[in-house]
Structure 1
Amino acid sequence: MLARRRTLVATALVAVVLGITCVLSLALGSKAIGLSDLVEAIHSGGDLHVREVLAARVPRTLCGLVAGAALASSGAAIQTVTRNPLGDPGVLGLTSGAAAGIVTVTSIPGLAGLQLVGGAFAGAAVATVAVMVLGSFGRGTDATRLVLSGAVTTAVAVAYSQAVSLRHKAAFDALRYWSAGSLAVGDFLDWWPVVVIAVAGAGLFAVGRGLDAVALGDEVAAGLGHHPARVRALTLTAVALMTAAATAITGPIVFVGLAAPHLARRLARGSARALIGLCCLIGPVLMLLADVIGRLVLRPAEVPVGVVTALLGAPLLLAVVRRSRGVL
């Protein structure tokens, strides 16, 4: 009962922080908007210039909400199902694999929309398999092997994307957009990525009890009537879908999926479903804050959100490795 109450309180607090972050995302940038102007624009339209600014910021705020929730919940699911604190779609190369799939699809004339998500999913799926296979070889701790296999997968995916882009102008334009990660909305954006994220997210919640069981060990999970291999397959499929859709929206963004679950565990303790639900709020907060920082540090120019998350997330990765495994 105490853990549940703590989870509810943490969820409420993070929801309030998320609301404040959304306001900051709408108000701050190369042109700041006062709170009164923001409220007036929402209620009655307000000044034309304010409406034009909001027309650009509202979509990118929505992108941050959707992609942040997808990446954060994916990170929580990976960390739970692999029992590894370094699980993150970016660290493991899934986002780079998804970006490689998108670059491949954009090099084929006439493909867009759902095909982009399909290509991203194929790339993320290949990256997932590669990381799991590479991580099963060699010596060292599980955490070290996971990070190294993710680094190798990322390097291969990036090299492939660059090779394809050299031969296809459309692929080069796509790579230039996706390589750094951005919340600026591209022409490709439609409702398909959001639908994919919603369906895959529902799938994660559906296997929540299985995730709780697998976190205790395969033997315990089997004794409780669950099938660990099936739980892992369903979880990784959902993660690949969510990562693919999020990458189709924003490009490859790292460390959001790593940081959000660790913050969630510090705030509350509970089931996998509770962790994933809390991450769905923390992820957008991290994504939007990184976007706001990127808008302000070099104003009126912008630093892509992917660059900001990488700069802030790299020290966190080292800290998690040192604390969890005592290496590096």
Structure 2
Amino acid sequence: MRGALFKTRITEMLGIRHPILCGGMGPSVSDANYVAAVVNAGGMGFIVAAGFPDPEELREQLRECRKLTSGKGFGVNLYISGQDRATERLQEQVKILSEEEVLCVETSGGSPAGVLPALREAGIKVLHKVPAVRYARSAARLGVDAVIVVGNDSAGHPGTYGISSMVQAPHASKEIAIPLVIGGGIGTGRQLAATLMMGADAILMGSRMLVSEELWIHHRYKELLVQSDGTDSVVVKTGLRQHHRVLNNESAKAVAALDATGASDFEQYRPHVMGKLTTQAYLTGDSRTGMLDYGPSVVFANSVQPVDAIFDEVLDDAQQAMSRLEELRSRY
């Protein structure tokens, strides 16, 4: 593990060595094995609770992660949905997280207001993820511990505003007083250094980490990512205003065709966006179908590596960026 280069409000709050967070990737991609590797490399990762709908399976993942990290703190991703029975499931997940003494959560989707009291009572830190500064302000007023603001390059759900991370970082740091994490299109150390200089306290990486050896997804898919240049990243489901940045495969093209017609009935989209297609793609390496979260930062994923090697690469690059900035600084 590289020595600490930076000390920020996020590293202090979470007790981590590096201001690097690896966002929850689903379905069940961010499992105990991967998250433990992130934590052991000095960052913070998040097991995706929605990927383990069986409560006891989720509990087993939490216990396995604690074992693999030798008791270090780790996080869980909680998706806040408005669907039927979602509130009941969320409350059950929070109860399990409290019992298993999880350190922090990455909340996303709807407002975290409904679960904040229980999370606070359990002493769990809440980092709420949003796609625009306006939502970050609202989350800060609710009393979350930190906000994660993602730009339009973010894989998964970047929101509908299309604002870049380059804009989000300096804007959010001026508007938000609580600790700030920036994500979306980030996969290098020079971006880490630049983001900290713009006022953030950490970065969030997702797509860059898809080539991690510790991830269970098929090696053939990881090799596809290594060969990719990021230009096959596309935003679909715009007709539903549920913008989703994914790999431009057959499913994405079918969804884009529906978007172009102005379709707004989810049943028309359902055959192409079912979660089982995504899981099957990850299991088999056949990436022709499924909504595969995929951002342009895959261009930085040049080889399949262990998590700690990826972190070393990022940190070395950050150190070089800092040295270059010092060389460029005017002496006059």
TM class by shorter chain equals under 0.3
TM-score of the aligned structures, taking structure 2 as reference length: 0.26
Higher relative contact order (CA 8 A, sep 6+): 1
TM-score (normalised: structure 1): 0.26
Higher strand fraction: Structure 1 or Structure 2? Answer: 2
Task: Give the structure with the larger helix fraction.
Answer: 1
